[in-house]
Amino acid sequence: MSIVLGPNRYGKAETRLVRVVREGGVHHLKDVNVSSSLSGDMRDVHLTGSNAAVLPTDTQKNTVYALARKHGVDQIEDFALLLAAHFVDSQPTIHHARVEIDEYAWNRVADRGHSFVRDGSEVRTCVVHYDRDGAVSVVSGLKDLVVLNSTGSEFHGFIEDEFTTLQPTNDRILATALSARWRHTGARSAFGSSYGEVRRCLLEAFADTHSLSLQQTLYAMGERVLDTRPEVCEVRFAMPNKHHFLVDLSPFGMDNDNEVYYAADRPYGLIEGSVLRDDAPDAGFAWE
């Protein structure tokens, strides 16, 4: 039996970058979290400890700051592509780069040019892979987008066994903290407008679907995106069911006609799935 080195990568996780662009008295803020992972000719560093092929993770961190100063940070997908290409194209021992970026939104305070308040809604995300052989993939996304329908959701007809206590319902609150990622058909796109349109499709499909299950809603959201956005070939979802249970007020001689609930944070149902075009290219390493 022989022992061999398996797949490996290394990098700098969560490099926090805030960039301010000043246009007179009006400032623009970009707040991102960048993680890079590199792989390639790394056999010797694992087997002998030789670092000759290693680009230090501290250098990866500094590269994030330097390229942000040199090129700016507009759409996070474009900045991730810039970083990934730099790591691979500048270093012969680096064959593959993965760059993941989370973006945190800030809103300007009224008409103040330099005052901002943190937007507490979803986090915008992207993952970019860039390979020396020319393969490139871009996955955009969002996470922690909390949405709720106060009616228009049912759940019944499910399996019932000796351990089932859940009662069927024809009217319930449906809520989730949505995480969605979508794979682009090409490595270049108008990522900013695409993000806004995909987000709109997700929200409209969630609101428009009379749901018999969260799975049905998941599919409707993915279908709406793919029907509307030709630059997207696959959407993947993670949708925790944020349960809302009616409070039993009968001990107090009171009814409760779908008005008073308690929100349970755990345990929760977790619904995951993907919706894709039947001719979508192989995902390869896109989702890793």
Domain boundaries, the chain: 7-134, 144-288
> Which of 82-86, 157-161, 173-177, 187-191 has the weakest average pLDDT?
187-191
The tens digit of pLDDT for each residue in 157-180 reads 999 999 999 999 999 999 999 999
- Using the predicted structure, report yes or no on whether residue 138 has a pLDDT greater than 90: yes
The confidence band for 17, taking pLDDT boundaries of 50, 70 and 90, is very high
- Using the predicted structure, report yes or no on whether residue 75 has a pLDDT greater than 80: yes
Cα separation, 20 vs 137, in Å, equals 29
pLDDT score for 99: 98
pTM of whole model > 0.85?
yes
Q: Across the chain, where does the E strand assignment appear?
A: 10-23, 26-40, 94-104, 106-108, 116-118, 123-131, 136-149, 174-184, 232-240, 244-246, 261-263, 270-276
Instruction: Using a pLDDT cut of 90, give the percent of the chain over it.
Output: 90
- Using the predicted structure, report yes or no on whether residue 284 has a pLDDT greater than 90: no
What kind of architecture, by CATH, is found in domain 7-134?
A: Roll (3.10)
Q: Hey, what are 212's tokens?
A: 């018999």
Same fold across 7-134 and 144-288: yes
Taking residues 77-102, what's their average pLDDT? 98
Cα separation, 51 vs 55, in Å, equals 8
- Using the predicted structure, report yes or no on whether residue 187 has a pLDDT greater than 80: no
Residue 239 CA, chain-centre distance (Å), reads 12
Among candidate residues 144, 43, 60, the one with its CA nearest the CA of residue 98: 60
- Using the predicted structure, report yes or no on whether residue 241 has a pLDDT greater than 90: yes
Phi-psi domain of 168 (left: phi exceeds 0; alpha: psi -120 through 50; beta: other) = beta
Residue recorded with tokens 């590269």:
63
CB atoms within 10 A of CB 110: 7
Q: Answer for the pair 75, 108: CB distance below 8 angstroms, yes or no.
A: no
Instruction: Using a pLDDT cut of 70, give the percent of the chain over it.
Output: 100
Q: Which three-class secondary structure state does DSSP give residue 153?
A: strand
Sort 251 into a burial class: Cβ within 10 Å, 0-12 / 13-18 / 19+.
exposed
CATH topology classification for 144-288: Urate Oxidase (3.10.270)
The tens digit of pLDDT for each residue in 108-132 reads 998 888 888 988 889 999 999 999 9
To the nearest whole number, what is the mean pLDDT of the chain? 96
- Using the predicted structure, report yes or no on whether residue 84 has a pLDDT greater than 80: yes
Q: Hey, what are 185's tokens?
A: 């058909």
Sort 174 into a burial class: Cβ within 10 Å, 0-12 / 13-18 / 19+.
buried
Cα separation, 254 vs 266, in Å, equals 27
The tens digit of pLDDT for each residue in 33-43 reads 999 999 999 99
The confidence band for 66, taking pLDDT boundaries of 50, 70 and 90, is very high
Q: Hey, what are 178's tokens?
A: 């949505």
Q: Catalytic residue numbers?
A: 12, 57, 243
Q: Hey, what are 25's tokens?
A: 């008295």
Q: Where are the alpha helices (DSSP H) in 209-280?
A: 214-228
Cα separation, 13 vs 31, in Å, equals 16
pLDDT score for 286: 83
Backbone angles phi, psi at 25, to 5 degrees: -85, 0
> Which of 24-28, 54-58, 141-145, 228-232 has the weakest average pLDDT?
24-28
More confident residue, 187 or 171: 171
